[in-house]
Structure 1
Amino acid sequence: MASQSLQLSTSDGVSTLTLNNSAKHNAMNFAMWQALPDLLQRVAADHASRVLVLTGAGERAFCSGNDVSEFDKVRSTPAQIEHYNGLQRTVCERLSKLSKPTIAMVDGYCLGAGLEFALLCDFRYCTPASRFAVPAVKLGLPYRYEDIVKLLDVIGPAPTREMVLRGRQVAGERAAEIGLVHHLAPSREALIREVGELAAELAAAAPLSLAAAKITINEALRRDAEPDLALCQKLADEVYASHDFIEGRAAFTAKRKPRFEGR
């Protein structure tokens, strides 16, 4: 356990990071933003962790956004706004650059910052009870360029205009229709089971291959610069030179499951 509001555990190669502020539908408060960078760094550095599942405590919310009730104290002056936004960018950068596969397990509200977290994950699974929204226009907040780009890249311009300009909630079924989520589970029980199956599948795969593939996909989707092709080639070369490449070939020849070590 990392703190009362954030819980991190790892088992069988799968790390689970739980947003635990259920009294406020797992809204992100300032203390949670401060703690998240170190927790994500721990996941990145933990060799035993091969996959990260991000979820919310309870059965009503993944994350309902930021805790607006504390904005007068922590996000009202120009200096406070700059510091708060800087923390958010640090967290989002570390989540997006995590070389391990990430899964957002959504049940209930996924609003504002919660939607941003989900968009930064490689996989998004949800239930029909889930509700996705960008409520910025109803709170008098800006929705910044980098945040809109995340949504555009996933669902395209028409649904993005609908979500951002109207600020209305999108139900789980509609989220699946527009490609906002990868999979719609029929119930919470099915969601937990199916995310567990996906996480186990990813944890059993070759970590270096996964990292190289994820980073290469991210490079191909970059908007701020040309893809770093030299980096992509370097990662591919490292995979070819790895012990896991030898193990993968040996397991295929012997018709057994490979035992990848991430080296």
Structure 2
Amino acid sequence: MPSELLQEDQPLPQGGTIRTWTLNRPEQRNAISQNLLAEMEGALSGLNPEQGIRGLIIQGSGPAFCAGADLKERASMSREDVDSFLNRMGRLFRQIETLSVPTLAAINGFCFGGGLEMALCADFRMASKEAQMGLTEASLGIIPGAGGTQRLPRIVGRAIATEMILSAERITAETALSRGLIREIADDAESLKLSASRWMQKVCENAPLSIVLARQAIEKGMEMSLEDGLKLERELYEKTLETEDRLEALKAFKEKRKPVFKGR
């Protein structure tokens, strides 16, 4: 049985690699099966900066990113199995969201339900111009169950998220861009791969520890008052002052060259 999750590493000029996950169920529009979920759970352990991983790109094979959960498989599952599946998927998405490396979802086609919920966990989202996306659960008699009702409003705002979820609307890449859901539109799937790679290379040129701490400041600060968020920012800033990477940046500036960061 072929793997339902393909993994590939792209070396970076400054050292380290960007890992790409490709959801590999093209005939099922990369719907999330129990096997695919298990493979993603297992692959998480390899996404460690100490092992040289600097970033993660998630994409789909064929004409889809991810159509959500595998509804054919779910039809044969018991209530207990469905609950277990949703709990596991929710944990997986939260782990992706809190990884110690930056993440990007390259949405190359259909992206519905749990597929969009997974993309919402990434730091960045890009799409091909033919992409369609939406939280369409209301049309199936359910609601988003893997974080969609919580993450979408935080990204696009309450009013737009309410419209999308209650209408089960399927939006185009152009609409997603206008709503701030994605940052860029590529002409086709191959152009999307190139754009995703270029963007992640740009992000990964920066100090790994700075990326980790900045993400913490943003995520945790969003749940605090402004005053508490500013205190948190200062605390995390202080952690950067004695790092080797900060000293390397100062040295590189003086020597008029690009810094070579080590994540220390």
**Scaled by the length of structure 1, what TM-score is found?**
0.90
Would the alpha carbon gap of residues 96 and 250 (structure 1) be closer, same or farther in structure 2, given more than 3 Å must change?
Answer: same
1:50 aligns with 2:49: no
2:39 maps to 35
Gaps of 5+ in 1: none
What per-residue deviation string (whole Å, max 9, x for no partner) do you get for residues 226-246 of structure 1? 978887555433321111111
Q: Does 1:71 align with 2:74?
A: yes
Corresponding residue for residue 7 of structure 1: 6
Q: Gapped runs of 5+ residues in structure 2?
A: 12-16
Counterpart mapping for 1:209-228 below 5 A = 209-222=210-223
CA distance in 1, matches of 2:213, 2:165: 33
| Residue correspondences, number | 256
Q: How does 1:1-263 map to 2 (within 5 A)?
A: 4-12=3-11, 13-44=17-48, 46-58=50-62, 60-74=63-77, 76-77=78-79, 79-144=80-145, 146-222=147-223, 233=234, 235-263=236-264
Whole-angstrom distance in 2 between the partners of 1:161 and 1:62:
23
Letter in 2 for 1:37: E
Distance 1:26 1:82 in 2: 21
CA distance in 2, matches of 1:256, 1:145: 44
Most deviating of 143-152 and 230-239: 230-239
CA distance, structure 2, for counterparts of residue 89 and residue 145 of structure 1? 5
Cα pair 2:24 2:30 within 8 Å, conserved: yes
Contact preservation (8 Å) 1:219, 1:227: no
Quote the sequence identity (%). 28
The answer on whether the counterparts of 1:37 and 1:94 sit within 8 Å (CA) in structure 2 is no
Q: How far off is 1:206 after superposition?
A: 0.7
Letter in 2 for 1:51: G
User: C-alpha distance in 2, partners of 1:129/1:180?
Assistant: 15
Distance 2:228 2:90 in 1: 21
**Residues 114 and 146 of structure 2 are in contact (CA less than 8 Å); yes or no, is this contact kept in structure 1?**
no
Q: Distance in 1 between matches of 2:189 and 2:146?
A: 33
Separation in 2, partners of 1:146, 1:94: 12
Write out the 4+ residue segments of structure 1 that deviate beyond 4 Å after TM superposition: 226-234
What secondary structure, in the 3-state scheme, does the structure 2 residue paired with 1:62 have? strand
Distance 1:205 1:106 in 2: 24
Amino acid at match of 1:164: I
Which whole-Å CA distance do the structure 2 matches of 1:145 and 1:183 have between them? 25
1:162 Cα deviation from its structure 2 partner: 2.2
